Every structure is written in structure tokens, then in C-alpha cells.
A and B are shown apart, each in its own frame.
Chain A
Amino acid sequence: KAGVTQTPRYLIKTRGQQVTLSCSPISGHRSVSWYQQTPGQGLQFLFEYFSETQRNKGNFPGRFSGRQFSNSRSEMNVSTLELGDSALYLCASSSVRVSEAGELFFGEGSRLTVL
């Protein structure tokens, strides 16, 4: 089956702009999580959506937001970009199947550079 797809893979923005990243989960997966990965902070949890509802949220400012559509595809948006937002943004989907309990399936990420 097809894996988690993230678009775009690479993008460059300038401070003050906003950006939208997209994630298509594995078919049948209803949970989508977002993580920010930076060399200094490692992997940090942004938020998780399940059946179009935000179920968990990490400790990020309100500039970071997300949503999930009825087909489970998810988008995250970062407004008023800052230099410190430069990072690899990873999306992960997961299943409710017992055999896959607790497993996150990651996409290859969207690498954002803010100039």
C-alpha cells in the first residue's frame, strides 16, 4: 500500500510569510500527527488529528495550526514565519488495527527554510 505522502518536500520562505504543508496518510488511517524536527530541539510533537478533530496538541504558539479533512488528509499552517521555524516537518499516520498498535508511519517530511 502507498505510504504517507507529504508535499511539498522542500520550500523556502521569508520571515513574515505563511506556509501550508500537506499530508496524505496511508489509506484507512484516520489519525494524523505532525512533528517538528530541528537539530537543536529534536522531534517535537505539534498536534494530532483523528476523524477531523484535534485530539492532542503540543506546546507550540498559535501561529501553528492544522486541520484534517473528511478523507483524513491533513494540512498544517504556520503564519508569520520566524527564522526559528526552519525545520523538517514530519507527518505520521496511524491505524486502529491491533496489529499496528502504537505504530506511527512517517512521511519523508517537508523541509522548510525561512530566510
Chain B
Amino acid sequence: AQSVTQLDSQVPVFEEAPVELRCNYSSSVSVYLFWYVQYPNQGLQLLLKYLSGSTLVKGINGFEAEFNKSQTSFHLRKPSVHISDTAEYFCAVSAGENKFYFGSGTKLNVKP
């Protein structure tokens, strides 16, 4: 079975500062990795995904993530955040067949 750990439940950061949201996973098989974002009172929206190939993945809204197989990590980064990035971010893994395992989420709070 797979599992996902997001160590930081909340991350406060000032506008225009860089941010990193951490995600570690455990799996005995090859997995696909995803980051989703959830704005208040909305569903989840895909930010980016890693299926294969280059370990550095670029997504929407200036976010990127790096797959590190040896450390079983898939941390999300943005060099300069905006107020509008305030949301909850979920890391997820899938071993196929549309069965996803989500982390507990990290609430990003961008302050002016």
C-alpha cells in the first residue's frame, strides 16, 4: 500500500518570499505523484504531476516540484508567492487504476 506524509500542516509566509511545501511518500511499487490545490469552498485542482521522465516538473501558477526517488520525496516550490496562493495544498500518489492516496494537506497562508 501507499502512504503520503505532509509534515507541515500550516506554512505562513510573506508575499514575494519563496516557499517549499514538503511531501514524502512510501510505496513498494512505482508511483505517479501529484500536487493539488484547494481554494476555500471549492474542489481540488491539479497543480502538477510526475508520471515519468524529467524529475523537475513545472505546473500552473509558477509552481514546480522535484521528484527524488532516493529520498521518496516530491516537494513543491515557488520562488515568489502571491496573496492569491493562499490555499490548502495536497500531495497525492497513485500506483495506477485511479486509486489515489492523499496527504493530510498543508495550508499555505500568504501574508502581505
Contacts and interface: CB of A to CB of B under 8 A. Distances in A.
Contacts of B104: 42
B51 A45 contact: no
A107 to B, nearest CB: 5
B34 A90 contact: no
A25 to B, nearest CB: 12
**Which DSSP category, helix, strand, loop or mixed, fits chain A's interface?**
strand
Contact of A104 (B46, B51, B97, B101): B46
Given A102-B34, A102-B51, A45 B44 contact: no
B63 interface: no
Given A43-B90, A108-B43, A94 B98 contact: yes
B44 A48 contact: no
Interface residues of B, number: 22
B97 A56 contact: yes
A21 interface: no
A101 interface: yes
**Which DSSP category, helix, strand, loop or mixed, fits chain B's interface?**
strand
Interface string B19-37: 0000000000000101010
B100 A55 contact: no
A101 B52 CA distance: 11
A41 to B, nearest CB: 8
A107 B43 contact: yes
- What range describes how many residues of A lie at the interface? 20 to 34
Contacts of A43: 44, 90, 102, 105
B98 A103 contact: no
B71 interface: no
A106 B37 CA distance: 11
A56 B97 CA distance: 8
Contacts of A50: 98
Interface of A: 4, 31, 33, 35, 42-45, 48, 50, 55-56, 90, 92, 94, 101-109
Interface of B: 32, 34, 36, 41-46, 49, 51, 90, 94, 97-105
